Structure 1
Amino acid sequence: MPTDPVLLDNLTLEQSSIVANNAMNRGRGLSGVNSYTRELGFDPYEVLAERLRADSTAQVTWIDVCCGSGRALLEAEARFDREFPAADLTIIGIDLVDFFLGTPRTPRLHLLATSATTWTPPRKADLVTCVHGLHYIGDKLALIEAMTSWLAPTARFAADFDPTEIRRPNSSPATDTVIETLRAAGLTYDVRRHQIHGHGRPDFAAVYLGADTTAGPGYTGQPSVVSYYDW
């Protein structure tokens, strides 16, 4: 007879080997075969560059949650420095583990080793991304609510997300409820790509119970965290 999972709180979860030492997103660049562009289906640089081409005085911000080594952000920083040297641009990368590939070369880039679950941005963002990071978050729904609250009125949100990792107290998946809430808020959930896209602020109205690190690999083949909620 299966036993109930032992649910971890956020502090304990963030100190676990699955979360603190995960290998996801460590070498992914901005473009190319192993890249944000390939994973997200669009080029983050071009999204921001298009805004700057339309208005060279615009204040543009990109926040990337669970940025891993920060390789994609470092590459974006260098490209923006070449092509838009005078632009008012801020790029912020957040990761729990300080495993950044390099240090920022300009004041435009900020690489922060901190918990995304307690961080707040200095200003609204034009683009918020989370590439294969939600798999390692305990309170995934709260972080989705937070990240979408950081969006400026015309901004874009994109994140890899597997709703089968959201469970009810009896361990049954809450997939339908989660997807319905996302879509009701105006966001798109791509079932094939396992991704949220768009602009909207969902309210899941769920009580977070804790996280299970023993559920095994998710759809990526890497160990992931299953999050439990009550409605």
Structure 2
Amino acid sequence: MPPAPAPQPAVGEAAGPRLLPDDALQSCTVVANNTMNRERGLHGVNSYTRELGFDPLDHLSARSASPSWLDLCSGEGRALRAAAARLPASAVLTGVDLVGPLDPAPRPPGVELVTASVTDWEAARTYDLITCVHGLHYLGDQLRMLTRAASWLAPDGLLAAHFDPDSVRRPDGSPASRPVLAALRAAGFAYDPRHHRLTLRGPRAVRLPFRYVGADPAAGPNYTGQPAVASYYTPLTS
């Protein structure tokens, strides 16, 4: 099926690259990434602990007798599987991935691995920890994903996601990184530029002053050295 027509610039917006809506974006090879988080485990050199800068088990173990973790763009869910063996049986561990797990190994109790687009999937509960390890690089409307995830946090929950400010642009292709980061910080997010990590503590309703107009899957490599998506936004005026 051919991709849906790209959104047209609004009056006054300069024409840029051909932008795709999210439903068409998901069929692109850059987005349907079957290597994302396939081998990444919980601990070690190639691990969530290293990428996030903290041990998810420490955060979860300190929260409640029934800790919960949502991992967006989870790949094989190896980190979730490893965590299940060290958390109470009542723990809820959910992974969502566009490609889904390719490993047929049985899932431990408490682990749910969902094959779905994270842009369409809706959480049915709140979580003590929400992670997106290098997953935003392959989404179109990254800001909407962040605002939705912020509302899924449990009290004192933590959201941690890798974010590349250079991937957000205006319709004419110029950088939108400064106003986007300023808006995220105003909404309560913290950003670590050295490690390209956004964090947010505690649930909240986040409204960001931008309108998504589409994404470019041919933007080329980002700071990871891997091909990524550029997301285009028009600033909203009050």
Match of 1:45 in 2: 57
Give matches, 1:123-202, under 5 Å: 123-199=125-201, 201=204, 202=206
How many residue pairs were aligned?
A: 218
Give how far 1:99 is off.
3.1
Is the 8 Å Cα contact of residues 156 and 199 (structure 1) preserved in structure 2? yes
Match of 1:104 in 2: 107
CA distance in 1, matches of 2:221, 2:106: 32
CA distance in 2, matches of 1:116, 1:27: 20
Give how far 1:205 is off.
2.1
Deviations 1:139-158 (A, max 9, x none): 11100111111011211010
> Which sits farther off after the overlay, 219-228 or 144-153?
144-153
Look up the SS of the partner of 1:18 in the other structure.
Answer: coil
Is the 8 Å Cα contact of residues 70 and 100 (structure 1) preserved in structure 2? no
Is the 8 Å Cα contact of residues 209 and 229 (structure 1) preserved in structure 2? yes
Q: Do structure 1's residue 208 and structure 2's residue 212 form an aligned pair?
A: yes
> Which sits farther off after the overlay, 133-142 or 147-156?
147-156
Is the 8 Å Cα contact of residues 71 and 100 (structure 1) preserved in structure 2? no
Partner of residue 34 from structure 1, selected from 27, 35, 46: 46
Match of 1:117 in 2: 119
Look up the SS of the partner of 2:75 in the other structure.
Answer: coil
Name the TM-score, length of structure 1 as normaliser.
Answer: 0.90
The answer to which structure has the higher helix fraction is 1
Is the 8 Å Cα contact of residues 183 and 209 (structure 2) preserved in structure 1? no
CA distance in 2, matches of 1:149, 1:221: 31
Match of 2:70 in 1: 63
Give how far 1:21 is off.
3.0
Deviations 1:128-186 (A, max 9, x none): 00000000000111001111110112110100000110100110111111111111122
CA distance in 2, matches of 1:117, 1:153: 23
Partner of residue 94 from structure 2, selected from 92, 95, 102: 92
Q: Which runs of 5+ in 1 are unaligned?
A: none
> Which sits farther off after the overlay, 14-23 or 210-219?
14-23
Give how far 1:29 is off.
0.4
Is the 8 Å Cα contact of residues 34 and 99 (structure 2) preserved in structure 1? no
Deviations 1:37-86 (A, max 9, x none): 0000001111111224xxx3xx4211000001111111111222xxx34x
Q: In angstroms, what is the RMSD of aligned CA positions?
A: 1.5
Match of 2:10 in 1: none
**Segments of 4+ moved more than 4 angstroms:** none
Look up the SS of the partner of 1:17 in the other structure.
Answer: coil
The sequence identity of aligned pairs, in percent, is 49
Q: Which amino acid aligns with 1:29?
A: G
Give how far 1:22 is off.
4.6
Name the TM-score, length of structure 2 as normaliser.
Answer: 0.87
Q: Which amino acid aligns with 1:103?
A: P
